[in-house]
Structure 1
Amino acid sequence: MFLSRPNVAVSIYGGILSKKNLFSLALKMSSKTASASPYFQDVKRLTRSQAKLILGSQDQPSVVSSSRTSATETRKPQISKLKRPHVPVRYESRTTSRPPPKKVLSNSAKPSKPRKATLKFDPEADMKTDDANADKQKDEDFKEKSQAKGWEPVRWKETLDFIREMRKEKDAPVDSMGAEKIGDHDAAPEVFRYHVLLSLLLSSQTKDQVTSAAMMALRNHGCTVDNILKTSDQKIGELIYPVGFWKKKIDYIKRTSQVLKDKYNGDIPATLEGLVKLPGIGPKMAHIIMDVGWNKVTGIGVDTHVHRITNRLKWVKKPTTVPEDTRKGLEDWLPRELWSEVNVLLVGFGQQTCLPVNPRCSECLCKDLCPYGRSALRYGSPKRKEASPKKK
């Protein structure tokens, strides 16, 4: 080894050499050592692990042959000498074998033990369940009887009798201010029919009390086709205010009166198709006009009360959202002789008992037969108002 300073170097022999001579001497010694060592002659052709095995197994390394196969075949390395001194040599076989480790199941794979159900006795809930089962059994019994002759609501005749019993006083607003009562019966038949038509035209989106007051004002003014056509729009508005949509109904009254004068000689159409073509007259109004004005039953007049009660009683196969669908569902099973009665009956029942909000189910005679009433008494009536029927 050499000790170097900036400009001179001292060799192991004690001589002083310059930097140039020192570099040439180191180069000669490295080339001579590399050529004399058998490791450097064959290291390019052997891997490091093979070279370690060969050099480690010889005390004084001999010249390694140039071929890899001859070097590995001449001497086989002893495995025991290659082991680390602090690691003990393991036996190749054991006399005793350990049992295999148990498989640990994850939480999801572990079979869950069934929990024992704790029985709690609730007498009130038990009574409710018994009542519900009894009602269900009654409904099923009546369904079997009704299926033999076609679909009809369960126990509808009993329900209708109860409604008649509750309406026997006939003290609802519709009984004194309906289309049948609001016209002038002493006037000519065509004038009376004209009154019926105008009263129904004004009744949409309006309470019976307001409609009755407006019709009385028109009658006092002179409610005939010719007189209404002579009256100004402003005056008609003053007479019918505050009915719902009174400005639009002024136009309906004027246009309808003109059609009646031009096409029907001051009278109203005698057919359902002719009535529906008049401005502001829909199917519900047309059926009631035909019944009250011409004494002809062409269908059931379904307003918001009839629509609501029919769906609560489940008097239709499927729940309906449009009054016209409710009418068709009722007419499919209800006997024709009841079509004229059912409108006034259900309208008055809806005005007094089966209200849109907070219906008086506890006072109703149908509370055990009505699905809505049974649910309302057990679980409470709905807090929000039911959706009003859509116009078709």
Structure 2
Amino acid sequence: TKKPTTPIKRAKIKNEQQTFDEPQNWRTVYERIREYRTTVTAPVDTMGCERLAEDKVPEKVSRFQTLVSLMLSSQTKDTVTSAAVKTLQSSLPGGLTLNSILQVDEKVLDSYIKSVGFHNRKAKYIKDAAVILRDTYNGDIPNTIEGLTSLPGVGPKMGYLALQCAWKINAGIGVDVHVHRISNRLGWCDTANGLPEDTRKQLESWLPKEYWRPVNPLLVGFGQVTCLPRGPKCGECPVSEYCPSAVTAVKKVKKVKKEVTVDPGDHHVKVKLEEDQHD
């Protein structure tokens, strides 16, 4: 008997709007990070999900590959996701297409993606989603956020990114852990104890719509190389002077007494020295 799998928890889309006042100097902060990212590359720049679909395939296949890439990316590093997608593209009979996913055995699919997080669940989600796409969407992926998030294993972040990357529809901001963390550190929202969905709603309440698509790869890359979850590199950060969460290293100076014994001839002389020591 096959054991039931525990579904990945994902935020549901709610209609209520969460507003947030437009942060002071946000344009300056955005532009400084953007300029910084033109010279400091990150994994998302070459291995982000929007870059993993093959070039010389039909648009419908390209959209499907983008969706699969997003489904694999949850709680998985871009480098690992990229490698798993390439394995599917090269190993599945006929390549990574809807039909090849429908035909492949779930256990075989799982073996191809075993490097990604929660690969067992994702293999089932991808197989189940493929059936829905075949039966309900004429073999294509949905072009609405409601349709995309109705698929197993697809949450709002994946849905909005799929719309932007696969359909060129800018319906919302894709908020992952990096965007969630950095937006709160910068004071662009106050949802540190909430969900990424809360962050999305607050960002969308003040961030102009033309920024909704580029803000994700901008902040994701910034979070991968500089504004790290632990030990952020505030000393290298181009916006530390504007960031309320910036940490600056302050050296504390304390006096340390040393006692040295000197023996000049027959006499023992104790000399006490004081020196500065930096932590």
Mark yes or no: TM-score above 0.5.
yes
Q: CA 1:178 to 1:170, structure 2 compared with 1: closer, same or farther past 3 Å?
A: farther
Counterpart residue type for residue 368 of structure 1:
E
> CA shift at 1:229, angstroms?
1.1
Separation of aligned partners in 2, 1:223 and 1:245: 20
Query: Are 2:134 and 1:264 equivalent residues in the alignment?
Result: no
Encode CA deviations 1:71-118: one digit per residue, 9 max, x unaligned. Answer: xxxxxxxxxxxxxxxxxxxxxxxxxxxxxxxxxxxxxxxxxxxxxxxx
- One of 332, 340, 349 as aligned partner of 2:213: 340
Give the TM-score normalised by the residue count of structure 2. Answer: 0.79
Residue 318 of structure 1, CA deviation: 5.6
How far apart are the structure 2 equivalents of 1:275 and 1:160?
29
Q: Where does residue 247 of structure 1 map in the other structure?
A: 120
Alpha-carbon distance, 1:170 to partner: 5.9
Letter in 1 for 2:60: E
Alignment of 1:194-213 (within 5 A): 194-213=64-83
Match in the other structure for 2:33: 163
CA deviations 1:340-368 (Å, max 9, x no partner) are 11000000000010000111000111111
Q: Give the deviation of 1:265 after TM superposition.
A: 1.5
In structure 1, distance between residues paired with 2:192 and 2:250: 21
Kindly indicate whether structure 1 or structure 2 has the higher relative contact order, using CA contacts under 8 Å at least 6 residues apart: 2
- Which residue type is aligned with residue 167 of structure 1? R
Residues 1:217 and 2:90 aligned together: no
Give the alignment of 1:1-392 within 5 angstroms.
151-169=21-39, 171-220=41-90, 221=92, 222-317=95-190, 319-373=192-246, 376-377=247-248
Contact 2:72–2:116 (Cα < 8 Å) also in 1: yes
Aligned structure 1 segments of 4 or more residues deviating by more than 3 angstroms: 317-320
Letter aligned with residue 305 of structure 1: H
Q: RMSD between aligned alpha carbons?
A: 1.5
Contact persistence 2:191–2:199 (CA under 8 A): no
The verdict on how the C-alpha distance between 1:318 and 1:195 changes in structure 2, with shifts beyond 3 A counting, is closer
| Distance in structure 2 (CA, Å) of the matches to 1:300 and 1:204 | 16
Unaligned runs of 5+ in 2: 1-19, 252-279
Question: Alignment partner of 1:340: what SS?
Answer: coil
CA shift in 2, pair 1:186/1:169, >3 Å: farther
Q: Distance in 1 between matches of 2:190 and 2:151?
A: 32
Shift of 1:185: 2.1
Alignment deviations for residues 137-179 of structure 1 (CA, whole Å, 9 cap, x no partner): xxxxxxxxxxxxx921121111111101110136210010111
Instruction: Write the letter of the residue equivalent to 2:209.
Output: R
Retained in 2: the 8 A contact 1:306–1:346? yes
Higher strand fraction: Structure 1 or Structure 2?
Answer: 2
Counterpart amino acid of residue 208 in structure 1: D
- Kindly tell me the number of residue pairs found equivalent between the two proteins: 229
**8 Å CA contact retained: 2:191, 2:198:** no
Change (3 A) 1:204 1:379: farther
2:78 partner amino acid: D
Percent of paired sites with the same residue: 48
1:320, 1:326 within 8 Å by CA — same for their partners in 2?
no
Following the alignment from structure 2 to structure 1, what is the Cα–Cα distance between the partners of residues 40 and 56? 23
Instruction: Give the drift of 1:379.
Output: 6.3
Secondary structure of 2:138's counterpart equals coil
Q: Aligned partner of 2:33: which letter?
A: I
Q: Secondary structure at the match of 2:214?
A: helix
Scaled by the length of structure 1, the TM-score of the pair is 0.57
